Chains A and B, each alone.
Chain A
Amino acid sequence: MVFSSLIFLVVFLPATLLIYYILPDRFRNLCLLAVSLIFYSWGEPIYILLMLFSILLNYISGILITRTDPQSTAKRRALLIAAVVINVGLLFVFKYADFTIGTYNLLFGKHIELLNIALPIGISFYTFQAMSYVIDVYRKEVKGNKNIINFAAYITMFPQLIAGPIVRYKTVESELRERKCTLDDFYQGIIRFTVGLGKKVLIANNIAVIFKEIAGTSPDKLSTSMAWLAVLAFTLQIYFDFSGYSDMAIGMGRMLGFHFLENFDYPYESKSITEFWRRWHISLSTWFREYVYYPLGGNRKGIKRQLINILIVWTLTGLWHGASWNFVLWGFYYAVILILEKLFLKKVLDKIPNIFGRLYTIIAFVIGWAIFALDDISYRTGFVKALLFQAKQGILDKHTAYLLISFGVLIVIAIIGSTSIPKRLSELLLSKKPTLRRVFELLFVAVVMTVSIAFIVSDSYNPFLYFRF
């Protein structure tokens, strides 16, 4: 199920809230687990079994590691390695097997048949969450969870199950045992959820039309401006889509009494790529920092080793986004930029006026998104040529002008909306008038919820007019 579907908004969510708050505290995790499994069954129901296996595996690993004598490091380490290998192994089989076979075939001219395994929804997210638990148990940062219902509720928790953020176990450990949701929590959750729904349905979905149309255009109809418009649209779409999902997750978490960490912090305002990656998909970069970069030695083993570590971590980050070489390239691209910044660029950027840093960062991540988006483009070579000023239609063309006129207002709204300007403006105007602020928020919730639902319904409106005209 996705958050931006009618069934989620008008059946699943109200029913969940109702049951959740009718039940006494001690049944709430069970309730959460049950509704999350229903939520998950909207994709590939059969993969529930895979998720249950993952839960069992990590639950048992956690208990075993906790029970092992803290002094016998070797045994604890063996248990940890076993758990990590199985977790990564599952992820590999279900996400990367065909990619590996395809690459092997390509390199060695072989024709091994692909397995055609459908990707289990959310596997990258829940596997990473589960690993954070086992590793933290090993590091003695948390205790193994003996209550399987609690643990299963943590792994399957529907707000973050299919699109993150990657909530580390230690963040919610105490709330899993005991939490209370105050009126203010619930209220803030609603505001946050509405912001996210609006970002996804009103902005991301509508701006997606531009990218979708241009991505399917044959090379002989592309112009350079059209190709770059597609990349700009994608840049805005992916931010609003992804951060919208995170907002909805954080909002629903709060409605249920959980406090997840932030996942986005206006990344497009960054003054360097190093900063960008501290503000974009924060939960993922934190995960890689905590569980890959630091264990590899981080920056503690000399600059040479640090650069290699950056390269490893970012190639893996790229690969995490999808089983395709363009994601690897995308990760590598960021690794190179981060290394350059580490070596000298960051020092230069710190000295010159902020505006240059921002411009440089914008150019860098827009090019990054161009690489990222290649996966979804029908005629890749033609598209790349168009980006590099080799388009059949030249630089400018009529259709791009039409799209700009038609979507101009939306693009401007999206650009402003991706910065902290709206937030700062509302604080400037409303921070001293709390009641007025609440009234604005009330109108915001009423309008955005209604219009978003209208947009979702209208998406399914599918007139069939010509059978009798």
Chain B
Amino acid sequence: MEKKVKVLTIIIFLVILFAVGIFTILGGRKTYSEFEKRKLAAFPKVTKDTVLKGEFQKGLDDFLNDHVVFRDQCVTVSSLANKMIGKKEQNGVYMCDDGYLIEKYEDKDFDKKEIKENVRCLTRFVNMAADSIGSKNVKIALIPSKVNALESKLPLYASTSKMNEYMKDMLKSKLKNQEVLIDLGDTLKEHSDEYIYYKTDHHWTGLGALYGYQALMKSMDLEMCTVSSKTDVSTNFRGTTFNKIHYAPQKDIITKYDVSTAENCELEYDISGDKELRDNIYDESALDTEDKYNYFLGGNYGVIKIHTGCTNGKSLVLIKDSFANCMIPYLTYNYENIVMVDLRYLNSSIFDTLNEMEQIDSVVVLFNEEKFMQDSHLWLLE
């Protein structure tokens, strides 16, 4: 009996060693990882030179690591094991008690020079806009990252970087009129026990965006839309933060908040210079993909011009990142025309777009604080 168990152990050991390699060879070859959003390593070239320099060997390591069978499941096992022994973070993600996965960032993730430059470009542009259409109609609304807004959910004694405060202080000092800056941090922190951020994604939810919208409207003295009803369009959303650790105790719900003016919109997308017309701000097809947040406007594009169901003739220029996408439904209530500009995907000068517009009633800059500090496209506002 004892000997049989021994033989079985030897067999198990050998099977584990051999099976991984064999299944990896038999398995299909992917070139792109949907979860990691990156190209996977290609099989290295075998030449005398690459072998002698060790490049082939290094390439083979990378290739195997990228293509090994059950790769994603391995990451799950590792995250689960770490959580089981009480570790609070994995791959830069805090695993918080009520299912929230919160990405952390540290001072060293930022370059103060870059922040200073971004602040300079933005404030110059905003000061100019405020001079021409009045500072009440120009707003910078900064959305805190989850780690800042949901600080109360973090593990005991977990530290957070205060770089965003540094950036906001600098913004204030450079703005001619302080009222231009709206700090959504305070608003969101008041609601931090509500479902204002996705548990598995870095974005805020429709509810978070609604609170942000309300704070924005209040500061601009505008009437707020009413939400007539809401529908859960997806209940199995797992977002970018999940992708980092391949583990999530709970899935997320994407909720659509119905606003009458958000129906029957006409949208004109600028996709790499080509115009494309759409008639729905919601992209139902995105719900069948991994990136379900793309349900809002189908993702990010350089310029999207929206003609809404509102008929007040007013126009809004929205300089934004992806956080703004789920606020659009509410904004349709206040503006007949919304021009969304995403500096990262812009194909032409933003000033061409602005000059084409017949009138501009408001300019709103809507960025996530963390990504604003790291963005390298702000110079386009010069």
Partner of B20 from A10, A445, A469 at Cβ < 8 Å: A10
Question: Which residues from chain A contact B75 at a C-beta distance below 8 Å?
Answer: 454, 457-458, 461
Bound: A191/B77 CA distance, A: 22
* CB-based nearest B residue for A48: B52
Bound: A416/B37 CA distance, A: 41
Bound: A418/B21 CA distance, A: 33
Cβ proximity bits B68-88 to A, threshold 8 Å, 1 near / 0 not: 101101110111011001111
Partner of A465 from B2, B57, B64, B243 at Cβ < 8 Å: B243
Bound: A82/B63 CA distance, A: 46
With A409-B85, A454-B77, A465-B244: A45-B157 Cβ-Cβ less than 8 Å: no
Overall SS of chain B's interface:
helix
Cβ proximity bits A93-125 to B, threshold 8 Å, 1 near / 0 not: 000000000000000000000000000000000
Question: Which residues from chain B contact A438 at a C-beta distance below 8 Å?
Answer: 2, 5-6, 9
Question: Which residues from chain A contact B86 at a C-beta distance below 8 Å?
Answer: 405-410
Cβ proximity bits A19-34 to B, threshold 8 Å, 1 near / 0 not: 0000000000000000
Bound: A44/B57 CA distance, A: 10
Bound: A44/B51 CA distance, A: 10
Question: Which residues from chain B contact A303 at a C-beta distance below 8 Å?
Answer: none
Contact A187 B10 (CB under 8 A): yes
With A410-B85, A461-B36: A11-B12 Cβ-Cβ less than 8 Å: no
Contact B88 A398 (CB under 8 A): no
Contact A11 B37 (CB under 8 A): no
Partner of B54 from A7, A41, A187 at Cβ < 8 Å: A41
Interface residues of A in 211-241 (CB under 8 A from B): none
Contact A405 B300 (CB under 8 A): no
A415 sits at the interface (CB 8 A): no
CB of A187 to closest CB in B, whole Å: 5
Contact B6 A401 (CB under 8 A): no
A344 sits at the interface (CB 8 A): no
Contact A5 B5 (CB under 8 A): no
Question: Which residues from chain A contact B9 at a C-beta distance below 8 Å?
Answer: 187, 190-191, 438, 441-442, 445
CB of B59 to closest CB in A, whole Å: 11
B17 sits at the interface (CB 8 A): yes
Among the interface residues B9, B75, B87, which one has the most CB atoms of the partner chain A within 10 A? B9
Bound: A187/B8 CA distance, A: 10
B38 sits at the interface (CB 8 A): yes
Partner of B65 from A413, A454, A457, A469 at Cβ < 8 Å: A457
Number of A interface residues at 8 Å Cβ cutoff, please give it: 61
A446 sits at the interface (CB 8 A): yes
Partner of B68 from A1, A6, A451, A463 at Cβ < 8 Å: A6
CB of B238 to closest CB in A, whole Å: 13
A194 sits at the interface (CB 8 A): yes
Bound: A413/B85 CA distance, A: 10
CB of A462 to closest CB in B, whole Å: 6
A455 sits at the interface (CB 8 A): yes
A434 sits at the interface (CB 8 A): yes
With A458-B78, A461-B71, A463-B36: A406-B155 Cβ-Cβ less than 8 Å: yes
Among the interface residues A398, A402, A407, A454, which one has the most CB atoms of the partner chain B within 10 A? A454
Contact A7 B60 (CB under 8 A): yes
B226 sits at the interface (CB 8 A): no
Interface residues of A in 432-469 (CB under 8 A from B): 434-435, 438-439, 441-442, 445-446, 449-451, 453-455, 457-458, 460-469
With A183-B6, A435-B2, A465-B240: A453-B52 Cβ-Cβ less than 8 Å: no
Cβ proximity bits A30-50 to B, threshold 8 Å, 1 near / 0 not: 000000000001111110000
Contact B157 A7 (CB under 8 A): no
A13 sits at the interface (CB 8 A): yes
Q: A455-B74, A464-B36 are in contact. List 18 more A-B contacts (CB 8 A).
A: A9-B17, A9-B20, A14-B21, A17-B17, A183-B10, A190-B9, A402-B155, A402-B158, A405-B88, A406-B87, A439-B5, A442-B5, A446-B16, A457-B70, A460-B66, A463-B36, A465-B37, A468-B300
Instruction: Show the binding face of B for A, using Cβ within 8 Å.
Output: 1-3, 5-10, 12-14, 16-18, 20-21, 24, 35-38, 51-54, 57, 60-62, 64-66, 68, 70-71, 73-75, 77-79, 81-82, 85-89, 91, 155-159, 202, 240, 243-244, 246, 299-300, 321-322, 371
